[in-house]
Amino acid sequence: MVPAGFIAVLFVWPVTRIIARGLAPGGALDLGVFGQVAADDHFRGVVWFTIWLALVSTAVTLVAGMPAAWILGRFSFRGRSLWRSALLVPFVMPTVVVGTAFVDLLGRGGILGVDLRDTVWAILIAHVFFNVAVVIRTVGDSWARLDPAQTEVARVLGASPWKVFRSVTLPSLAPAILAATAIVFLFSFTSFGVVLILGGPTHSTLEVETYLQTTVFLNLDVAAVLALTQMVLIVTGLTLAARLDPNRRAHPVGTTVTGRQTLRRIRTARQRLGVTAVLGLTGLFLALPLTLLAVRSLRSDGGWTLEHYRGLAEGGTTLFVSPVSAVVNSLMFAVGATLVATVVGGLAAAAVGYGRGAAVKLTDAALMLPLGTSAATVGFGILITFDRPPLDLRASPWLVPLAHALIGIPFVVRLLVPAIRRIDPRLREVATTLGASPWRVWTTIDAVLLRRPLVAAAGFAFAVSLGEFGATSFISRPEFPTAPVAIFRFLSRPGPANLGRALAMSTILMVLTALSVTIIEFLGGSELGRGPSSATPTGGGSPTTQEPPEMAATGGRP
């Protein structure tokens, strides 16, 4: 009841109000705007560009991520765990930080020597940067659970390496590859900050166009139609993703084993060269933008300086408060959002994880909708909904963490549900047989086994809150800006001083996010990307449930 009420009040009600205000401004429903939008070449182009961009981004990300997925799924080498953990840093990095990094990397005077800003290439590169970890960890973790006996038998029977991959390995990996494809497509389809910062005025997606129609042109009717169009496409995508869930497919007995048993050591010089080349190029691609961001934040007029960081302590015309206060606001909002998201998301995960049936699947899909709805729609809807007593929250600092919690709840659910379903029910049955009460069973079995994934879920909610920008740009008060909002304001103003401060603030936010990811992996890392749970008895038999690969890759990012 609590999660349903929270979603209804913070999501369904605001979205319904903003759509109703756009389609029925005088109280009478007017659907003529649908025809106007459908007949407009510009809006048809926006829809097509959004779909095309998501498709191309997904294809390029798959090609870029598969070699590293093969390395992590097949080989055991020193630093493998550290490398897997480092993959999460770009994935949860705030979009404003990444946008700032690529503005500096791909802009005039950047390392490439050409100005790629305001081009589709900049957006594609940033999308691959964000989402390649999904492919690597999703497919890599599934690859690590494949039984090597199958490929060995195929080789003994005379099959070539390519035929073994095509006829044995690829069909076994198909569920994970399809799941990663669906997830990356959805991420690229709903991309906001990257397109807004790097796309320029000529490259607008449904998400960005809804934002512009709402804030710049004040065409709420057009924004409502675009938001509904995006929601329909997102629901369709979620439905397809659910159908591609690897848990829906029956795995033949013996096709999956514990990942540690399948990893093999690097034995030949050719293998060592391949591993070094793939991991080196992937690591360079992921580390270069963020490293250059930190370096450029320390440079000014050709020399090393802390000028940009000292400038953050000063107030100015860009912000009503000092940038340091914006960072403090982000931390305080993240703590509040984490508490709310962990409690509400934990209750929702319990309902979904312990429940069964069509209603549970519907509830699980509904919890993902906040992430598939336009940030402009959600943020502006919240702003106009909570504008009168007893829920007049426009001047309340709690409005921001509540909105952040709404976005963090799906992450919490996506981490906890697989962990709940991995718990072997035989453990509860044995405890009940020995006379334990239901409460004793839950506290001694479930609560203990869920402690680490709960900490990881809270860490993800914290990191998500730190970097949230879309909805926050609507609802944050001028006296309570967050770090991403402050960075965007700096980027929106000309001059090297503003760019330098944006680089400095982005570096600070990057460090805070990286620390959050480190804590996530340290405290709950063993729960990320695991196949069989430690809750599964080791005495023979396959695990009763397995974690879907997409959960392993993203820690729950839908």
Q: Is the pLDDT of residue 539 over 50?
A: no
Q: Is the pLDDT of residue 534 over 60?
A: no
Q: What is the pLDDT of residue 554?
A: 39
Three-state DSSP class for 76?
strand
Q: Which residues contact 232 (CB under 8 A, 6 or more apart)?
A: none
Task: Decide if 145 contacts 256 (C-beta within 8 A).
Answer: yes
Task: Decide if 182 contacts 248 (C-beta within 8 A).
Answer: no
Q: Is the pLDDT of residue 549 over 60?
A: no
Q: What is the pLDDT of residue 344?
A: 93
Task: Decide if 87 contacts 184 (C-beta within 8 A).
Answer: no
CA dihedral of 326, 414, 187, 73, whole degrees rounded to 10: 110
- Mean pLDDT along residues 383-396: 78
Q: What is the pLDDT of residue 370?
A: 80
Q: What is the pLDDT of residue 50?
A: 92
Q: What is the pLDDT of residue 115?
A: 63
CA distances from 455 to 462, 476, 522 (A): 11, 27, 10
| CA–CA distance, 363 with 365 (Å, rounded to integer) | 5
List 146's β-bridge partners, or say none.
Answer: 256
| CA–CA distance, 213 with 222 (Å, rounded to integer) | 7
pLDDT tier for residue 358 given thresholds of 50, 70 and 90: confident
Q: Which residues contact 226 (CB under 8 A, 6 or more apart)?
A: 37, 43, 46, 206, 209, 210, 213, 374
Ranked by mean pLDDT, which of 271-275, 313-317, 354-358 comes out on top? 271-275
For 209-213, 366-370, 534-538, which range has the lowest pLDDT when averaged over its residues? 534-538
Q: What is the pLDDT of residue 368?
A: 75
For 109-113, 137-141, 445-449, 450-454, which range has the lowest pLDDT when averaged over its residues? 109-113
| CA–CA distance, 241 with 224 (Å, rounded to integer) | 25
Name the pTM for this structure.
Answer: 0.77
What does pLDDT average to over the chain? 79
Backbone angles phi, psi at 220, to 5 degrees: -65, -30
Q: What is the pLDDT of residue 334?
A: 93
Q: What is the pLDDT of residue 343?
A: 94
Task: Decide if 419 contacts 456 (C-beta within 8 A).
Answer: no
Residue 325 token pair: 């206060």
Task: Decide if 373 contacts 206 (C-beta within 8 A).
Answer: no
| CA–CA distance, 154 with 512 (Å, rounded to integer) | 48
pLDDT tier for residue 211 given thresholds of 50, 70 and 90: confident
- Helix (H) or strand (E) run with residue 304 in it: strand 303-304
Q: What is the pLDDT of residue 338?
A: 94
In tens, the pLDDT along 30-42 reads 778 888 888 989 9
Q: What is the pLDDT of residue 543?
A: 33
Give the type of residue at 524: G
In tens, the pLDDT along 224-274 reads 888 888 888 877 776 766 665 555 544 443 344 544 556 778 888 888 888
Q: What is the pLDDT of residue 347?
A: 92
- Helix (H) or strand (E) run with residue 299 in it: strand 299-300
Q: What is the pLDDT of residue 114?
A: 59
Residue 454 token pair: 């709960």
Cis preceding linkage at 161, omega within 30 = no
Q: What is the pLDDT of residue 109?
A: 56
Give the type of residue at 509: L
Q: Is the pLDDT of residue 277 over 80?
A: yes
Q: Is the pLDDT of residue 536 over 50?
A: no
Task: Name the residue among 513, 418, 479 with its Cα closest to residue 90.
Answer: 513
Count CB atoms within 10 A of the CB of residue 56.
15
In tens, the pLDDT along 450-470 reads 888 888 888 888 988 988 887
| CA–CA distance, 491 with 494 (Å, rounded to integer) | 7
pLDDT tier for residue 281 given thresholds of 50, 70 and 90: very high
Give the chain's domains with CATH numbers: 2-293+323-532+546-554 (1.10.3720.10)
Report how far apart the first and last C-alpha atoms of the chain are (Å, whole number). 23
- Mean pLDDT along residues 311-317: 67
CA distances from 521 to 194, 355, 452, 503, 528 (A): 26, 28, 10, 27, 8
| CA–CA distance, 415 with 551 (Å, rounded to integer) | 7
In tens, the pLDDT along 170-188 reads 888 887 888 788 778 888 8
Between 18 and 294, the more confident residue is 294
Query: If you write DSSP's letter for every residue of 280-319 in order, what string do you get?
Result: HHHHHHHHHHHHHHHHHTTEETTEE--HHHHHTTS--SS-
Q: Is the pLDDT of residue 97 over 70?
A: yes
- Mean pLDDT along residues 299-328: 78
Three-state DSSP class for 196?
helix
Q: Is the pLDDT of residue 552 over 50?
A: no
For 22-26, 70-74, 168-172, which range has the lowest pLDDT when averaged over its residues? 22-26
For 48-57, 237-246, 433-442, 472-481, which range has the lowest pLDDT when averaged over its residues? 237-246
Q: Helices H, strands E: what count in the chain?
A: 29, 4
CA distances from 326 to 143, 329, 476, 477 (A): 43, 5, 11, 11
Backbone angles phi, psi at 75, to 5 degrees: -120, 145
Backbone angles phi, psi at 499, to 5 degrees: -65, -40
pLDDT tier for residue 116 given thresholds of 50, 70 and 90: low
- Mean pLDDT along residues 107-114: 58
- Mean pLDDT along residues 365-386: 78
- Mean pLDDT along residues 115-140: 85
Backbone angles phi, psi at 302, to 5 degrees: 80, 0
For 119-123, 126-130, 385-389, which range has the lowest pLDDT when averaged over its residues? 385-389
